[in-house]
Amino acid sequence: MSLSDAAPAFDWDIFCRVVDNFGDIGVCWRLAKALAHDHGCAVRLWVDDWATFARLCPAARDARDGLRAEGVDVRRWCEPFPRVRPARAVVEAFACEPPECYVEAMAACAPRPQWINLEYLSAEDWVEGCHGLASPHPRLPLAKRFCFPGFTARTGGLLRERGLIAARERFQADAAAQREWLAGLGLPAVPEGARLVSLFAYEQPGLPALLQRWAEAPQPTVLLVPEGRVLGDVLRFFGRGDGRPGDMLAAGRLTTVILPFLASADYDRLLWACDLNFVRGEDSFVRAQWAARPFVWHIYEQDEAVHHDKLEAFVARFVAGLDGEAAAALRAFWLAWNGAGDAAAAWPAFEAALARLAPHVCRWSDELARFQDLASTLVQFSAPAVK
């Protein structure tokens, strides 16, 4: 079959290799849906780890090699790679490199597809200078452009679907809707005055000491823990070897509920409903900022502690405008949560700063919403090819 005989071209092909559990595919899945729903694009998403994708999209469990879900064509990325017509614009997520046969097919197209390398999110200053730069292929008549998500107008922005902020505001203004949604997760009425906390993190050896503080605190805490890597540390505190969704564990003033793995929209509602959110990686980190609630970021660990530079860069940008005492408390707790200190010891100062942090996060979220969203940036990048 020649390329001219293939199915009509898609507007977008997105290639995703799953490296960090749900982070890479979480970003790509949200991006694919945003391009389809908000921009009316025909999108094809290639995923190498089908089992992980199926956690985000349960309909994929019964699909062997591909399906159409939420307006997106999703295909299993396997070898040998099928002979397909390249889309008019191609995203390689996080430098994953499309298959060589596909790249050669791109070079044979007329006009040639727009090729975009979607990079990891960073608040570091150098990102602005690299955003939009092009790199020629060493052998083929192709060039890829670099798109850096970020927190300024000179970057690609953040993933933000149309209507997201309005939906969040409606939900947060409706206490009955929040209670009903939480009840649907199996959560009983939250005790009066309790702090509702969500926990999604990588392994956290110091967590039991922090949970002990919450158990002994005068204010009750209700901790909601979706299935994930940190669950083992939670169970260790309660002396349990295993746990499953629906389990409710109690110690002193701390009540912990294990939640099932949540679909994207439900995870957003969890963040919107909680008073404090612990998030990790990139996807949940961005969603926490749109939730406009205080949050703590567990950054993905990299060799030679490079991640600490990225963490410090974000903290420096994030605390601008926050009073010095609260900024210092946030920085100390975030660093401790990321292995550079004792999180339990840093908790009291951070807890005392939460009342000042809450309005600050709202202002931060509003400021970010003034910038163009990432999907719209990519559509602009592809403008010569996608009409």
**Residues assigned a catalytic role:** 24, 282
Cα–Cα distance for residue pair 159/34, rounded to 1 Å: 8
Contact 333, 315 (CB under 8 A): no
Cα–Cα distance for residue pair 89/381, rounded to 1 Å: 9
Paired strand residues for 134: 145
Contact 287, 210 (CB under 8 A): no
Residue type, 132: G
Cα–Cα distance for residue pair 291/279, rounded to 1 Å: 12
Cα–Cα distance for residue pair 92/20, rounded to 1 Å: 16
Q: If we measure between CA atoms, which residue out of 317, 372, 368, 282 comes closest to residue 21? A: 282
Which of helix, strand or coil describes residue 384?
Answer: coil
Cα–Cα distance for residue pair 141/104, rounded to 1 Å: 10
The continuous run of DSSP H or E covering 298 comes out as strand 295-298
Which of helix, strand or coil describes residue 378?
Answer: helix
